[in-house]
């Protein structure tokens, strides 16, 4: 192939098929904000309450969640980020280069199922706040018990569907400013409700030391007894869930799509913004808010839904946190589900496919069991895609060390397409059978075998299902490596590798030319935008300050009621102020004038 033909092929390739160019890479602060925004969501209300219902102890929560989330951070940093930075490709593109259409289509179907269910759960969570406005009782059964609740789900759900179809970019931008506010509001909710919880346990609204916190936690939050009155989960299970909750994105490598824009693989450590400030703080805060609400309402945490908890902890801001957090998360995941479905039914437009997926999502959202079972759903979703992560990890990180060739399957397919498959009839039936066996995709076979292995371990109850992803991942890596070597990964592909090298050089040259032709956006440094950002951050600081006043300046229940009412009023005012100022600043930055690049 001539140089001009290679350049023509590169120009006709879709941007998603190309590695991310150097001029589109981001610094570490970008990823801190991104992970904080994505991993502080409405699910934290559900998961925080789940740990209470499962009967973890206070010590296990404080230590186990810390260990598990640190392991998750290391998984992003040591597994996902290096592959993403070295290839600059999304998992979808890299998987297609490794295994072709068959595995990619199966993977897209898995994503449709996973993201549809997660979107449905988030719609249900948002409706748990909306139902309070209409006086609808909490939906605690696996099926809906109120017709008006179903109508609310349909109304809220269809808004989510329409936004995912037509206006997702605006919602994605809006979601980027939600992270700091969500962290502040989760923390504030726990601070506001803790004096009431302390009064119900210790008979006083203030703490004298950390021992008081532990005593309150053991007595009324993480008691070590589950909702059935039996001994609950231990440290091992708490660590496992905190680690396994995001296997979909780190061991499953979906976050290659994000981290391919990182300048360095160590930016995987930026996931700590989501894991430590998001999951660790938010899950603990959600447990405190749930227990505090239960104490004030003379109820139990299993009889409350996120709407009850958020409203009691944050007042009107509670409506906002549940609706916004659920809505933005649902939109993002429904958009992903629509993209995955459109990749399967590529002859249909994305909006049409998203609409069909959205209708199914809304139907599922009518059944509250979806959000109440988020903990096992997230774990099993991760188990479904972990074998794919194992296949990609094996090909990228292990094959070069064993003398096997990356992308061997594509090279083999190209060679057969160019040369034709030689007839094996003159070699006997056994040769034909072996050739047919070799044509079976090792990736498909390994994925299916990995699923059978993982879910088989679960059926046999060999180990805690929180840790099933580890042996499943290792099993798939071993099996795929052996099958790929037998199928031809160890053959000589020097000609194909050389051709790929020329193509990659042509891609870099093309991207460098494009970069020189484009004009980068000038940074928005206007005084007014700076004022807007200052107003936004000051609003968050004032919100947290008032919450601290409620926590540490309420010597009795009379002053606590007064202080908490002050927080409910001003917390809502500062919430509105924050979103107006932050979103206004964001829009000004988006409409800034481009700056011409010097020659």
Sign of the Cα pseudo-torsion (596, 597, 598, 599, in order): negative
Short-list 200, 218, 191, 197, CA closest to 58: 218
Q: What residues form DSSP beta bridges with 26?
A: 262
What is the percent of the chain where pLDDT is above 70?
Answer: 84
Supply the pTM of this predicted model.
0.84
Contact 295, 309 (CB under 8 A): no
Q: List the structure tokens of 81.
A: 């980020």
Confidence of residue 566 (pLDDT cuts 50, 70, 90): very high
| pLDDT, the chain, mean | 82
Counting Cα atoms < 13 Å in the Cβ hemisphere of 557 gives 9
Looking at per-residue confidence, does 174 or 534 come out higher? 534
CA distances from residue 368 to 143, 145, 373, 564 in whole angstroms, order as listed: 6, 10, 9, 31
Contact 574, 188 (CB under 8 A): no
Name the region of 315 (left: φ>0; alpha: ψ -120 to 50; beta: rest): left
Q: What is the pLDDT of residue 139?
A: 67
pLDDT tens digit sequence for 253-279: 988 888 988 999 999 999 998 898 878
Domain residue spans of the chain: 28-385, 518-599
Q: What is the pLDDT of residue 502?
A: 83
Q: What is the pLDDT of residue 562?
A: 93
Distance CA 345, CA 143 (A): 31
Instruction: Give the homologous superfamily in CATH for domain 28-385.
Output: Hydantoin permease (1.10.4160.10)
Across 41-50, 56-65, 523-532, least confident range:
41-50
Q: What is the pLDDT of residue 1?
A: 54
Short-list 307, 288, 359, CA closest to 140: 307
**Secondary structure (3-state) at 462:** coil
Distance CA 242, CA 435 (A): 45
- The DSSP code for 523 is P
Q: Is the pLDDT of residue 131 over 80?
A: no
Q: What residues have CB less than 8 Å from 180, skipping those under 6 apart?
A: 36, 537, 540
Q: What residues have CB less than 8 Å from 440, skipping those under 6 apart?
A: 487
pLDDT tens digit sequence for 291-309: 888 777 776 666 666 777 7
- Identify the H or E element spanning 60: helix 58-75
């Amino acid at each position: 192939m001539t140089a001009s033909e290679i350049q023509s092929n590169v120009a006709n390739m879709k941007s998603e098929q190309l590695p991310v160019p150097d001029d589109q890479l981001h610094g570490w602060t970008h990823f801190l904000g991104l992970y904080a925004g994505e991993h502080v969501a409405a699910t934290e209300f559900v998961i925080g309450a789940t740990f209470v219902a499962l009967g973890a102890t206070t010590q296990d929560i404080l230590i186990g969640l810390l260990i598990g989330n640190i392991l998750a951070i290391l998984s992003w940093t040591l597994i996902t980020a290096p592959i993403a930075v070295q290839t600059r490709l999304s998992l979808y593109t890299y998987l297609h280069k490794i295994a072709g259409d068959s595995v990619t289509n199966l993977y897209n179907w898995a994503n449709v199922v996973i993201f549809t269910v997660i979107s449905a759960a988030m719609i249900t969570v948002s409706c748990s706040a909306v139902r309070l406005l209409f006086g609808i009782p909490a939906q605690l059964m696996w099926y809906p018990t109120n017709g008006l609740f179903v109508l609310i789900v349909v109304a809220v759900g269809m808004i989510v569907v329409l936004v995912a179809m037509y206006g997702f970019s605006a919602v994605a931008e809006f979601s980027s400013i939600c992270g700091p506010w969500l962290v502040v509001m989760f923390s504030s909710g726990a601070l506001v409700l803790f004096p009431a919880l302390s009064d119900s346990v210790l008979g006083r609204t203030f703490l004298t030391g950390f021992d008081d916190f532990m005593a309150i936690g053991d007595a009324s939050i993480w008691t070590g007894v589950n909702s059935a009155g039996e001994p609950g989960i231990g440290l091992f299970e708490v660590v496992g869930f905190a680690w396994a909750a995001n296997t979909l994105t780190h061991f499953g490598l979906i976050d290659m799509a994000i981290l391919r824009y990182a300048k360095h693989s160590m930016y995987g450590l930026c996931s700590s913004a989501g894991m430590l400030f998001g999951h660790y703080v938010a899950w603990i805060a959600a447990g405190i808010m749930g227990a505090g609400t239960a104490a004030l309402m003379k109820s139990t945490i299993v009889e409350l839904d996120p709407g009850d908890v958020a409203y009691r902890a944050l007042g009107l801001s509670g409506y906002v946190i549940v609706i916004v957090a659920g809505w933005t998360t649902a939109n993002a995941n429904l958009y992903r589900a629509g993209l995955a479905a459109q990749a399967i039914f590529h002859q249909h437009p994305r909006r049409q496919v998203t609409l069909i997926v959205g209708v199914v999502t809304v139907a599922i959202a009518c059944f509250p069991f979806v959000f109440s079972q988020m903990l096992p759903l997230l774990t099993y979703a991760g188990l479904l895609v972990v074998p794919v992560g194992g296949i990609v990890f094996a090909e990228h990180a292990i094959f070069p060390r064993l003398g096997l060739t990356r992308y061997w399957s594509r090279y083999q397919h190209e060679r057969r397409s160019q040369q034709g498959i030689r007839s094996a009839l003159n070699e006997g039936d056994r040769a034909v059978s072996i050739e047919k066996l070799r044509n079976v995709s090792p990736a498909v076979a390994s994925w299916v075998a990995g699923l059978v292995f993982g879910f088989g371990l679960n059926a046999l109850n060999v180990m805690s299902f929180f840790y099933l992803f580890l042996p499943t991942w290792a099993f798939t890596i071993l099996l795929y490596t052996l099958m790929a070597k037998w199928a031809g990964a160890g053959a000589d592909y020097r000609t194909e590798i050389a051709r790929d090298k020329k193509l990659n050089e042509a891609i870099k040259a093309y991207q460098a030319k494009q970069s020189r032709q484009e004009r980068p956006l000038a940074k928005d440094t206007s005084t007014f935008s700076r004022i807007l950002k200052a107003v936004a951050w000051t609003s968050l600081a004032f919100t947290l300050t008032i919450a601290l006043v409620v926590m540490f300046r309420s010597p009795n229940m009379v002053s606590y009621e007064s202080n908490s009412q002050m927080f409910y009023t001003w917390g809502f005012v500062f919430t509105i102020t924050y979103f107006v100022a932050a979103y206004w600043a964001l829009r000004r930055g988006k409409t800034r004038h481009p700056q011409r690049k010097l020659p």
